[in-house]
Amino acid sequence: MLRLITPEVAGLDAGVRARVHEDVVAHVVTQIEQMPSILALPYRLALWAFGLLPVLRYGRTFLGLTPPRQAVYLSSWSNAVIAPARDFIKLIRSCALLAYFDHPQVCEALRSARGESLSRPAAALTSGDAA
Amino acid sequence: MSRGKGRSVDLLETQVLVIGTGAGGATTAAALVEAGFEVLMVEEGPGVDTASIPSNSPKAITSLYRHAGLTPILGNQNIAFVEGCCVGGSTEINSGFWHRLSPETYPRWKADALLDAFTPEIMEGYFERIESDLSVSFLGRERENKSSAVLRRGAERMHWRCAEVPRCQRDPGASAFAPGAKQSMQRTYIPRALRAGARLRADCRVLRIEHENGVASGARVSMRTESRRVEGTIRADTIFVCAGAVQTPALLRRSGIRRNVGNTLCLHPMIKAAALFDEEIDAGQAALPMYQVNEFWPTLTLGGSVYSPGFLAMLLADNWEANRDLIRCYDRMGLFYAATRGMNRGRVRVVPGFEDGTIIRYRLSKADCRNLSLGLARLAELLFAAGARSVHPSLRGFPALTSVDAARGFLKQPLPASVMNLSTVHVFSSCPMGENVDFCATDSFGKVNGCSNLFVNDASLLPDSPGVNPQGITMAIASRNAEHFVERVRRGPRVLRSAASTPARKADVLVTGAPGWLGTRLVQVLADETLRRRCGIEKDVAAKTVRCLVRPSIDPAPLAGSTDTVEVCYGDLGDDQALERFCNHSEGATLFHVAGVVHPAWRTSDFQRVNVEGTRRLLEAAQAGGVRRVVVVSSNSPMGCNPHVDQLFDENSPYHPYMGYGRSKAQMERLVHETHAAGRIETVIVRPPWFYGPHQPPRQTQFFRLIRQGRFPVLGSGLQKRSMAYVDNICQGLLLAATVERANGHTYWIADERPYTIEEVVETVRDLLESRFGIPCQQRSLRLPSWVGGAARLADATLQGIGLYQQQIHVLGEMNQTIACSIEKARTELGYAPRYSLRDGMAASIQWCLENGYYI
């Protein structure tokens, strides 16, 4: 799931990215473990439901889905009508993005790609921003 | 009010326990230890050196933030709340911004909370002193970073007020905000307290405060030792709860202290936006912004926010699919916020059964949504004026703003709460201080209402939102309250604390049971000639030294006001060494034995242990110490109840003890008679019935409250009679018993002039509440048939038969009985002439409740 959430960053090779992902996973797990005990239980239930519910539609758990189907399934939760489902994904996504983009090696890769970024006008990046 | 009497291991003992090491706790601890108190600080979080952890990094979040930053405030839209949970508290993770309290807030707090001794003239001195301690300073325009310059530029172009906010920073030249440069509590007040001798225990979670009858005796804690976690009790004479605006009310509520606690939480909801510029603004390098836009204060504050690629990604996560590419131009982006003063009040509650079952609730009001929409519109206007290409508000499902007109749309149509992604770092006002007993949880100096030695001293005390970062205000208030506490104790009695502190002065009068209800008043009367005259004592019975036996867990402050006269000897009736110390050097003195158990917390064995065995020990110590006369306070209970309403007990009435308490007092009286018969000491027994007056315990305040609410139970006709005794009338009787020679060996009933019917008592109180104090009352009582009293008596007897006690059942069991006495013997032999009628006494009693913050 975290691989779907965290985007590729230019200059980050596969091996480094895998190590970064391990750190991100460790960070997210630590955060969830430290949640207030009264919220941790429903959150774990939601995690469990998120992993198993694809069985009803695709006949496989989330981990057994192909990456495109995982992305579609993830998107269906993050845009769900039910607020707790959206909040569930939002929390994991936020924790993961923070840990990922503040990871020293990702920051280094971003700095390396800085020249390319500077060469692009800002307007080019804002044109397709509509959600 | 009673909690936590289970079996417990005493882990530590201290004079003052400070719970929490943040802005309030560290300030309190430093002030008290420097004033000579023995101070122990406990902190739930770890003792991590924050100088070694980059501020706001993922590592900081998991190791320094409570719940790793995942604390939601629940409501119509959840708000992310972050606070520190480490030594130093939130001062280790905040931006170190410093604000004084605005002048317009003082009169508002005075009017709303009836806050005493809180004026700019008083508070400015505290602000100045702390600002010097924390090196509060400005960076100055010459050190302005690019992202801050963008904000200033936008404000200038909009002609809005914008100013640099000073920060607690040792060296303004040391980069933007180098780790360790911020003058957090770890760098300032905590080391200062430790240098002065305070102790600090990190990884020590306080589970609840142990307290009984308005006196806190310690804190039940779970503490990490070298190898494992242990649970036990830290004993303390005084407790300061400084755990922040969420954890403080949660702890008090867990401990059963709920009056006005956790009902009035205020916060500053904050909404953020990212802005993309053509120029490189290096927001990540600048680390922390400098300016705030105050044009719309106090409703709104605009400013720059902490920035890193991770924080930017978190904000963009609201619309991640559309915004993910923006990360690549992180060096041309900045994060900014609009914060508003929340217009609603939230609640802090605890769910039983969970180790950390704290629930914070805050419902965004329509005004909040309107203000946040306005804030977002103004922020976007400013950013576009500063040259932003696009503004990306933290709103679910909303497109980026690419023009000022799009931003102004929020002015026309306020955003719904459900789309806002909100956070807050400023919470306060969950235990407001002041003299408004309908609203405040503490008095004007943080003393928890209804508790003599329990204080709150953190941001919880602020009566409402100050509209700015509350660290400076919290520290100034904590400093003021700690200073007031020190003064209060210094004005108080001399304390003989340890076994080594043998009395140097000879005592004329010894008193047990102070600072209890009657004991405190007796000491005051002994020390004050005016009070003695008011009680009707014309003879000069002034005592040079009044020595009081005070249980170690009890705050002797109520005995204050007579420094030269009163001294305190810590100990209790079960401690032979303490009794020996108490009675030492008291040849020829008079001992007033007022202490006793009337309503035990749970077990009836306390009656025997304290009332009988304790008295036996005390009499032995008194004889050994050379005490001349012992005046022992007994009760009506050894005589039981009158057979009919017109019969009065006198001193010749036979013993017919009522339940366990009556039996213990009868045994005590026999013990006193035996001691007198041995001829080594003079004895007098005084029997006051149901008494009332200043320094009353919570049960008596509840009596007034039940009458006000129309819920006081009147059983049967209400014509059954009760003799009652106003405390000053009893004091007159006690002093006469101590000084009249012929009283030796006798027993006296001491009460008001005549018995009253229950109806008369209720009517008198109701009339006083309404006519003299303007407190509206229900014009009814809870009428119950007489047999309810009989049933309660049966239940009481059954419970006591198996060694258990329940106060309400016991009291209800007596409510249909007549318990009345004649004071004729005291009148004739002692010259006793009660000065106070029921009406006068009850009026003084109600007045005392109101003056001391007790809710009626």
Task: Give the CATH number, domain containing residue B824.
Answer: 3.40.50.720
pLDDT at residue B560 in the model? 63
pLDDT at residue B197 in the model? 96
Which of the four pLDDT bands, split at 50, 70 and 90, describes residue A122?
Answer: very low
Q: What is the mean pLDDT of residues B58-70?
A: 89
Inter-chain touch A130–B322, beta carbons under 8 Å: yes
Tell me the whole-structure pTM to 2 decimals: 0.71
The distance from CA B849 to its chain's CA centroid, rounded to whole angstroms, is 17
Map out the domains of chain A as residue ranges: 2-113
Q: Which helix (H) or strand (E) holds B664?
A: helix B659-678
Inter-chain touch B396–A86, beta carbons under 8 Å: yes
Is the pLDDT at B176 greater than 60? The verdict is no
Inter-chain touch B317–A93, beta carbons under 8 Å: yes
Tokens at B801, concatenated: 């038969």
The span from the CA of A33 to the CA of B676, in Å, is 69
| DSSP calls for A9-51 | -TT--HHHHHHHHHHHHHHHHHHHHTS-HHHHHHHHHHHHHHH
For residues B527 and B622, membership in a common domain is answered with: yes
Phi–psi pair at B751, nearest 5 degrees: -150, 180
CB pairs under 8 A between A and B: 138
The span from the CA of B673 to the CA of B615, in Å, is 12
For residues B502 and B377, membership in a common domain is answered with: no
| DSSP calls for B709-721 | HT--EEETTS--E
Is the pLDDT at B3 greater than 70? The verdict is no
- Beta-strand relationship, B546-550 and B509-512: parallel
Q: Which helix (H) or strand (E) holds B558?
A: none
Please tell me the least confidently modeled range out of A59-73, A105-119, B260-274, B642-656.
A105-119
The span from the CA of B583 to the CA of B591, in Å, is 9
Tokens at B160, concatenated: 């809005």
pLDDT at residue A10 in the model? 75
Best of B320, B335, B390 to disrupt the A interface (most A CBs within 10 Å) is B320
Question: What's the mean pLDDT when you consider all of chain B?
Answer: 90
- Beta-strand relationship, B162-164 and B136-137: unpaired
**A36 touching B, CB under 8 A?**
yes
The span from the CA of B506 to the CA of B544, in Å, is 9
For residues B373 and B507, membership in a common domain is answered with: no
**A105 touching B, CB under 8 A?**
no
Please tell me the least confidently modeled range out of A111-125, B186-200, B335-349.
A111-125
For residues B634 and B535, membership in a common domain is answered with: yes
pLDDT at residue B533 in the model? 87
The span from the CA of B467 to the CA of B494, in Å, is 43
For residues B558 and B688, membership in a common domain is answered with: yes
Nearest to B302 by CA among B118, B481, B161, B451: B161
The span from the CA of B328 to the CA of A114, in Å, is 8
Instruction: Name the residue in chain B with its Cα closest to that of A130.
Output: B399
What is the domain count for chain B? 2
Which of the four pLDDT bands, split at 50, 70 and 90, describes residue B690?
Answer: very high
Q: Spell out which residues of chain A touch residue B78, defining contact as CB-CB under 8 Å.
A: 87
Note every long-range contact of B116-123, with CB atoms under 8 Å and residues 24 or more positions apart, other chains counting: B116/B434, B116/B435, B116/B444, B117/B444, B117/B445, B117/B484, B118/B444, B118/B480, B122/B480, B123/B476, B123/B477, B123/B480
Inter-chain touch A27–B58, beta carbons under 8 Å: yes
**A114 touching B, CB under 8 A?**
yes
Which of the four pLDDT bands, split at 50, 70 and 90, describes residue B350?
Answer: very high
**B307 touching A, CB under 8 A?**
no
Give just the sign of the alpha carbon dihedral B433, B439, B442, B444: positive
Inter-chain touch B357–A38, beta carbons under 8 Å: yes
For residues B528 and B402, membership in a common domain is answered with: no
Is the pLDDT at B679 greater than 80? The verdict is yes
Nearest to B302 by CA among B331, B270, B348, B265: B270
The span from the CA of A118 to the CA of A103, in Å, is 22
Tokens at B250, concatenated: 């949660």
Quick check: B470 and B462 in contact, CB under 8 A? yes
pLDDT at residue B4 in the model? 41
Q: What is the mean pLDDT of residues B800-808?
A: 92
Is the pLDDT at B27 greater than 50? The verdict is yes
Question: Could you read off the pLDDT of B499-556 as tens digits, one per residue?
Answer: 444 555 788 999 999 888 999 999 989 888 888 888 888 777 767 789 999 886 676 7
Question: What residues make up the domain containing B609?
Answer: 494-695+722-754+819-836
The span from the CA of B417 to the CA of B344, in Å, is 14
Q: What's the N-to-C CA distance of chain B in angstroms?
A: 16
Of the candidates B308, B332, B400, which has its C-beta nearest A102's C-beta?
B308
Of the candidates A34, A93, A131, which has its C-beta nearest B399's C-beta?
A131
| Segment 51-70 of chain B within 8 Å of chain A by CB | 57-58, 61-62, 67-70
| Segment 41-100 of chain A within 8 Å of chain B by CB | 75, 78, 83, 86-87, 90-91, 93-95, 97-100
Q: What is the mean pLDDT of residues B627-632?
A: 96
Inter-chain touch B399–A129, beta carbons under 8 Å: yes
Instruction: Name the residue in chain A with its Cα closest to that of B319.
Output: A131
The span from the CA of A119 to the CA of B559, in Å, is 78
The shortest C-alpha distance from B400 to chain A (Å) reads: 6
Q: Spell out which residues of chain A touch residue B359, defining contact as CB-CB under 8 Å.
A: 38
Q: What is the mean pLDDT of residues B302-318?
A: 89
Based on its alpha-carbon atoms, the radius of gyration of chain A, rounded to whole angstroms, reads 17
Quick check: B165 and B305 in contact, CB under 8 A? no
pLDDT at residue B6 in the model? 44
Query: Exposure string (b/e) for B172-207, b if CB count within 10 Å is 16 or more?
Result: eeeebbbbbbbbbbbbbbbebbbebebebbbbbbbb
For residues B557 and B653, membership in a common domain is answered with: yes
Per DSSP, B337 falls in state E
| B424, B458, B486 - which closes a domain | B424
Quick check: A104 and A19 in contact, CB under 8 A? no
pLDDT at residue B322 in the model? 83
Where in the sequence numbering do the catalytic residues of B fall?
426
The span from the CA of A100 to the CA of B324, in Å, is 13
**A7 touching B, CB under 8 A?**
yes
Is the pLDDT at A115 greater than 80? The verdict is no
Residue with tokens 């030594």: B87
Q: What is the mean pLDDT of residues B849-853?
A: 77
For residues B509 and B645, membership in a common domain is answered with: yes
Q: Which amino acid makes up residue B578?
A: A
Please tell me the least confidently modeled range out of B27-31, B93-97, B470-474.
B93-97
pLDDT at residue B8 in the model? 58
For residues B413 and B502, membership in a common domain is answered with: no
The span from the CA of B183 to the CA of B179, in Å, is 10
Most confident region among A118-122, B385-389, B528-532, B535-539 by mean pLDDT: B385-389
For residues B504 and B413, membership in a common domain is answered with: no
For residues B407 and B499, membership in a common domain is answered with: no
Instruction: Name the residue in chain A with its Cα closest to that of B280.
Output: A118
Q: What is the mean pLDDT of residues B603-631?
A: 95
- Domain presence at residue B559: yes
pLDDT at residue B563 in the model? 52
| Segment 263-282 of chain B within 8 Å of chain A by CB | 276-278, 280
ipTM of the complex: 0.85
For residues B416 and B560, membership in a common domain is answered with: no
pLDDT at residue B213 in the model? 67
Percent of chain B with pLDDT over 70: 94
Phi–psi pair at B643, nearest 5 degrees: -65, -30
Inter-chain touch B355–A91, beta carbons under 8 Å: no
Question: Could you read off the pLDDT of B714-723 as tens digits, one per residue?
Answer: 999 999 999 9
Which of the four pLDDT bands, split at 50, 70 and 90, describes residue B146?
Answer: confident
The span from the CA of A102 to the CA of B311, in Å, is 8
Residue with tokens 């329940």: B806
Helices and strands (H, E) in chain B, number of each type: 26, 36
Q: Which helix (H) or strand (E) holds A99?
A: helix A83-101
Is the pLDDT at A129 greater than 60? The verdict is no
Which of the four pLDDT bands, split at 50, 70 and 90, describes residue B695?
Answer: confident
Question: Could you read off the pLDDT of B564-594 as tens digits, one per residue?
Answer: 678 888 888 988 988 998 999 899 999 999 9
The span from the CA of B832 to the CA of B540, in Å, is 16
- Domain presence at residue B237: no
Question: Could you read off the pLDDT of B725-774 as tens digits, one per residue?
Answer: 999 999 999 999 999 999 999 999 999 999 999 999 999 999 999 999 98
Q: Spell out which residues of chain A touch residue B357, defining contact as CB-CB under 8 Å.
A: 36-38
